[in-house]
Chain A
């Protein structure tokens, strides 16, 4: 049977599909001068796209530290795997779905969640927690309110239906994302460390099986869409956005986990970006084998589909699997039990070639390893952007007058980046599966406990947090990226967890612009520096380039998700030591961000410097993101994190919250707003200014600071602990009452009803969304 309506393969067609002139020449050499068939050209365009080949980023990704004593699987597989002891491991990864979410926010965000879930359960892990990191433009920018609502609903729609709790995330707003929002989704799963599944197509003669949903025409060219800039007319790309079906994915998850209990599976891989093309080429390439796939046997959703479409479709909820000989029927039976398609579509061969046939006719015949090896790898030109010096040298406005403090604080509390994100995260199920020890909005990181197959508590708990202050990255691409690593790990410390691995999602602009490429390189180097200093490896990740619209690049945004371990979390959990007697008996195993009791002392660990660069406050006053990026002192950071972890473990520290957007006063208030199970309480801050500017003291965003609360009896122990770790500390106030008061050097600056300020913070986002 011939294939209808196939265009003639020419160089212009290749360019239209995203290949460069140079790449077209390499392609011809690889085929010894013969022209590729149309489906073959499709394979090249997908495999050599930025999205699949990492052709611009690979040489820089090599800089990332990926090894450590706990690392079982580093980058290169569907997800990274880290040992958590006693035969247990966690698999996790973060991925972007930026362009699809901008075009069609609900489906774009939903399928982003679906894709990362598949990456994790493909490894044999049961997904147990999600995070999401979102970057939106200014809330009044065109379409933005709808994008916020659509993305939140899409993430909720998929994750809730799958029954995976959302443990946290972060969300910020900046004009740099007006034309290119970021939607990064993270999933963590738990598995036995000796039951890890990988994408290997090995064993000559073994059957290749297709399982999951039927293939449709959706998402064709998704990978190449993610590899080009946005411009006018991007809405016309809506058909390239995949449509998610979380119900089918839930069935696929349960079916896969059921067959993983057996020894029937040799290798498995999700059909993600570039669908059947990338999954089959990657599986064969890893195993050094060849494949024969009968494309006409792929389950199809509609009639008249072509080999080109079948190879490039990004229809969701599909897997490619290599079966142990003789187990095919048993696998099919399990998939049918769950109401899913499953069939044999080909075999593993020793030819080293990918042969795709269509009703007996070979329509694709390509060498696998040479095609993968010949994938372009660019050392693109790099140039330090000129704006860096200008923004660093921008003069600061005059210091804030005491009379302006209250108005400024009220504005800051309502800034979308600082305001409570409850409106968003209330849409996510956060407690399904009965593992959530610290849920959304309760701590600086989310925590789940780990249960065994029989549902019994293993005594282990895993914490996770994702972060990136992209304003810092804009001001200093190197140190901004290092800050992201430090902050993600700091958040783990604030809940009592030790960082054991990171995943990154590197969102940058068009790599063909030398300034962006320089920025990207600096980001990788900054991540490297922080990882080495804090002794934590990157085990998986994703790169998203071409985040540009009409020539305008986003702020560099290397999102970092950190995973931490609380090794002994057996027995009862005492959140923030409610009373002195309880803490002496069991200690503290984990810690929330909210004050626990009235009349506790509030302490600031870490030092405040005159650092206003990139702060929300400066943006508020000047309308600009400028100044010097705050310093990051990694040796001090390491000591600070160790100090707080120990303070939590000893039961001294009742709450811990790091200062970030909005600075010190906002951080203390956030701890007060969450107190009393979210009812809130007051607090009295008494600060000493020293030589600092008033605005730096109150609203500067110096890194490496944590606001903690301790009982009166524990204050001297905290002092000893801080001295031992050489961490600067100062008492800055006390908890309790119904009012929030602020005094600097004994001079009262503010006296307001805490509940009223809490209301501003809680309601601002919903009000802004209208």
Chain B
């Protein structure tokens, strides 16, 4: 169970990722500087953390996507390795073209920190297998650019192939514009690639796993990953 957490200048949720994977889950978790050419030997999961890599200058995630370590993250993904990108990590994976789409400014044009409810749309992924389809869990969001956008044809493709992993919903699991905090198309909170090994999501499951800090809605993702590791 070896997890690599790439750290870019301006990453600031790296600590949360290390805490969730290392301290809470007890996995071997290794921070990796962006200028490294290689992930640590035997890396099973790459957790691309949130933050403001390169100050969000140019475009969120655009510069980090070109960092040396990202070439090896792509190689890892191409070989079927697991990659989880959260918040800025999701933006980086989109910019690196490991995932489709783009994250635009929130509809309100403001940064939003709030707890949201997510509905599990795919329960057959390494990231979701410990949850049930339709299950609702609660995790925080903290972003200014989480408005997931894709051109209509690609969006239809994404939906058709089951590329949506999580959708914003009400506490009861209802889908609708009222429950989407940032204007994301189809209420999309997280997506997965065609192969099912790269997942990006705006909400922060890693901030909702330590019982001392409150509800642990994010644990489902980590229990799923634990199950995925044990299969390796």
Contact = CB atoms under 8 A, between A and B. Distances in A.
A595 interface: no
A434 B10 CA distance: 17
Interface of B: 9-10, 12-13, 15-16, 18-20, 22-23, 51-52, 54-57, 110-115, 140, 142, 144, 204, 206-207, 210-214
A432 B13 contact: yes
Given A427-B113, A429-B142, A572-B211, A434 B9 contact: no
Given A434-B213, A437-B212, A455-B22, A246 B55 contact: yes
A354 interface: no
Given A250-B10, A427-B112, A436 B16 contact: no
Contacts of A163: 12-13, 15, 51-52
A160 interface: yes
B113 A429 contact: yes
Contacts of B10: 161, 247, 250-251
A456 interface: yes
A153 interface: yes
Contacts of B206: 434
Contacts of B142: 160, 429-432
A633 to B, nearest CB: 37
Interface in A422-474: 426-437, 449, 455-457
A570 to B, nearest CB: 9
A455 B18 contact: yes
A455 B14 CA distance: 12
A661 interface: no
A431 B111 contact: no
A68 B212 CA distance: 31
A247 B16 contact: no
B109 to A, nearest CB: 9
A456 B9 contact: no
Contact of B210 (A157, A432, A434): A434
Given A245-B55, A427-B112, A432-B142, A251 B9 contact: yes
A40 B229 CA distance: 67
A455 B25 CA distance: 13
Contacts of A455: 15, 18-19, 22-23
A161 B55 contact: yes
Contacts of A518: none
A760 B140 CA distance: 25
Contacts of B55: 161, 245-248, 250
Given A160-B52, A246-B55, A433-B16, 9 more contacts: A247-B10, A251-B9, A339-B9, A428-B113, A429-B142, A431-B213, A434-B19, A456-B23, A575-B214
A161 B213 contact: no
A338 interface: yes
A157 B55 CA distance: 10
Interface in A149-187: 153, 156-157, 160-163
Contacts of A435: 213
Given A427-B110, A430-B113, A434-B213, A247 B13 contact: no
Nearest to A448: B213
Closest 10 CB pairs of A and B: A163-B12, A247-B55, A161-B52, A429-B142, A434-B19, A427-B111, A434-B16, A156-B111, A429-B113, A455-B23
Contacts of B210: 434
Contacts of B112: 426-427
Interface residues of A, number: 35
A250 B9 CA distance: 8
A573 interface: yes
Contacts of A432: 12-13, 15-16, 142, 207
Contact of A572 (B18, B56, B140, B212): B212
Contacts of B12: 161-163, 250, 432
A14 B222 CA distance: 65
A113 to B, nearest CB: 14
Most chain B Cβ neighbours within 10 Å, of A153, A250, A430, A431 = A431
Interface in A311-342: 338-339
B17 to A, nearest CB: 9
Contacts of A160: 52, 111, 142, 144
A251 B114 CA distance: 27
Contacts of B23: 455-456
Contacts of B140: 431
Given A427-B110, A433-B15, A247 B213 contact: no
A77 B10 CA distance: 28
B15 A338 contact: no
Nearest to B144: A160
Contact of A250 (B52, B114, B213): B52
Nearest to A442: B214
10 contacts: A153-B111, A157-B111, A160-B144, A251-B10, A429-B113, A431-B207, A432-B207, A434-B206, A455-B19, A573-B212
A698 to B, nearest CB: 32
A660 B225 CA distance: 48
Contacts of A247: 9-10, 52, 54-57
Contacts of A573: 212
Contacts of A246: 52, 55
Given A247-B10, A250-B12, A431 B113 contact: yes
B22 A434 contact: no
A157 B51 CA distance: 12
B111 A429 contact: yes
A156 B142 CA distance: 11
Contacts of A250: 9-10, 12, 52, 55
Contacts of B214: 575
Nearest to A338: B9
Nearest to A457: B212
A52 B163 CA distance: 59
B173 to A, nearest CB: 16
A434 B25 CA distance: 14
Nearest to A456: B23
B60 to A, nearest CB: 11
B54 to A, nearest CB: 7
B178 to A, nearest CB: 14
A338 B115 CA distance: 33
Contacts of B54: 247
Contacts of A162: 12
Contacts of B20: 434
Contacts of B113: 426-431
Most chain B Cβ neighbours within 10 Å, of A161, A162, A248, A457 = A161
Given A247-B57, A338-B9, A426 B114 contact: yes
A336 B54 CA distance: 15
A428 B143 CA distance: 9
A301 B210 CA distance: 45
Contacts of A434: 15-16, 19-20, 206-207, 210, 213
